[in-house]
Structure formats: structure tokens, C-alpha cells
Amino acid sequence: MHRSTVPAASADGPLQPDFNAALVWGRLSRFLQHSMARRALGVGVAALLAYYAVSKSVEIGDRSLLVLLNGLTAAGLYFLMASGFTLVFGLARVTNLAHGGIYLLGGYGALSVQRTTGNWFLAALLGALFAGGVSVVLYLVLRLLRGDGLRETMLTLGATIVIADQVLATWGGIPTDLDPPSFLTGSIDLPGSTLLYPKFRLAVVALALLAGLLLWVLLYKTRLGML
């Protein structure tokens, strides 16, 4: 029969149980080690999640900024084209459906000049003069039909078809781009972002804003616009 041993009473006080300091310290150490491991694991997982969230937010932010800038560039181009159409229709009351075709002629004319001379500014100037000359000829023809909206529409629509076919026959149907001037080549770093955006596209946005401001001044701050 097993007999349990009871610690003897000391002369200084009541009975005291056995106290194994090494065993208690070992268990406490293991507990602390496990607790720190869990904390370290939790901190590591939290750091990974934070890094993933930050990287995704930066990626989403850059993507949103890129979409915004591309939209502003396209809007600037559309504004530069549509402002002329609305100005002609608002002041002269002429529905010029050949407006886009005239822009097309000016662009391909500038492309031919740049390929020949390599000068972007000369190409832009001569392309604008070429488009302006075609516009003057079309305006002189439209003066003969003043007041007949249906004939004006049919004439300008037919001119658009002729211009498009001539451009296709002369320059082909392969999309081409004008090389920007040297000071607008390359890209710039956008502040607060990791994106690089072309300088030429930012210049298009700035040009559209400047054109809009000048048109507003012309229409609302000059005698010509008040007529």
C-alpha cells in the first residue's frame, strides 16, 4: 500500500508544501515563449496584411490616376475639336459636318510636312494653314446655300466622305502618329505616385484648358462675343 509523505512541520511555523522553483520557472518560461511566439506571429501577419493593403491601395490609386489622366487627355482633344464646331454653328448657324474631315486633312498634311522636314513646329503651322484653306473654300461654297439647312448638311456630309476617301487613298489606312517636339518627349514623375506620364499628353490637357479660357474671354469679355 502506497503511503503519501507529508512534509514535517518546522519549528518556525506551520507546514509548508514543497516548492520546486526550477519546475515553475520552466513552465513560466515556456508560457512566455509561447506567448511571445504568438505575438510575433500576430505582428508578422498584421505586417504582411498591412503591406498588402498599402501596396494594393497604391496600385489602385495609380491605376485610378492613370485612368483619370487618360480621360482628361481624350476630353481635351474632343474639346479642341468640338469647340470649333459649336463656335461655327453658334455664330454662323452652319451645320458643318465636314469639321472632323478638315481636322483629318490638317493632321495628315502636318504628318507629311514632318516626314519631309523633320520640323514639328513647321508641320503644325502648315497643317493648320492647310486645314484653314480648306475651311475657307468650304465656307465660300456654303455661302451660296445660306439659309438652306438641308443642303448645307448634305454638302458638308458629302465633303466629309470625299475627304475621308482621299485621305485613305493618299496616306493609307494604317494609324500613324506625329512625333512630338523634343521638349515634350519622354515622361515625368507624377507627385505622390509611382507613375510616369507622357509630357505630350499633359501638354494637350494644358492646351485645351488654355483654349477654353481664351474662348470664354472672347465670348463673354469682348464686343465680338457680345454681338
- 105-123 residue pLDDT tens: 999 999 999 999 989 899 9
Quote the CA–CA distance of 74 and 70 in Å, as a whole number.
Answer: 6
CB 105 within 8 A of CB 163: yes
CB 35 within 8 A of CB 167: no
Residue 225 counted as domain residue = no
Taken in order 132, 138, 140, 146, the sign of the CA dihedral is: negative
Q: What is the pLDDT of residues 24-64, one digit of tens each?
A: 555 545 554 554 445 544 555 565 666 555 555 555 667 77
Quote the CA–CA distance of 96 and 153 in Å, as a whole number.
Answer: 7
Residue 117 counted as domain residue = yes
Residue 190 counted as domain residue = no
Residue 125: the pLDDT is 94
Residue 45: the pLDDT is 59
Q: What is the pLDDT of residues 173-212, one digit of tens each?
A: 888 888 888 888 888 887 767 788 889 888 988 988 898 8
Indicate if the pLDDT at residue 226 is higher than 80.
Answer: no
CB 126 within 8 A of CB 113: yes
- Domain tally for the chain? 1
Q: State what percent of residues in the chain have pLDDT above 70.
A: 70
Mean predicted lDDT score pLDDT of the chain: 76
CA 38 to chain centre: 45
Q: What are phi and psi of 181, to 5 degrees?
A: -65, 165
* Domain that includes residue 158, residue range: 92-179
Residue 147 counted as domain residue = yes
Residue 195: the pLDDT is 80
Quote the CA–CA distance of 77 and 205 in Å, as a whole number.
Answer: 8
Residue 52: the pLDDT is 59
Query: Which segment of 64-68, 113-117, 163-167, 221-225 scores lowest on mean pLDDT?
Result: 221-225
**Kindly report the CA angle at 95 between 83 and 92, in degrees rounded to 5?**
75
Residue 53: the pLDDT is 58
Q: Which residues contact 32 (CB under 8 A, 6 or more apart)?
A: none
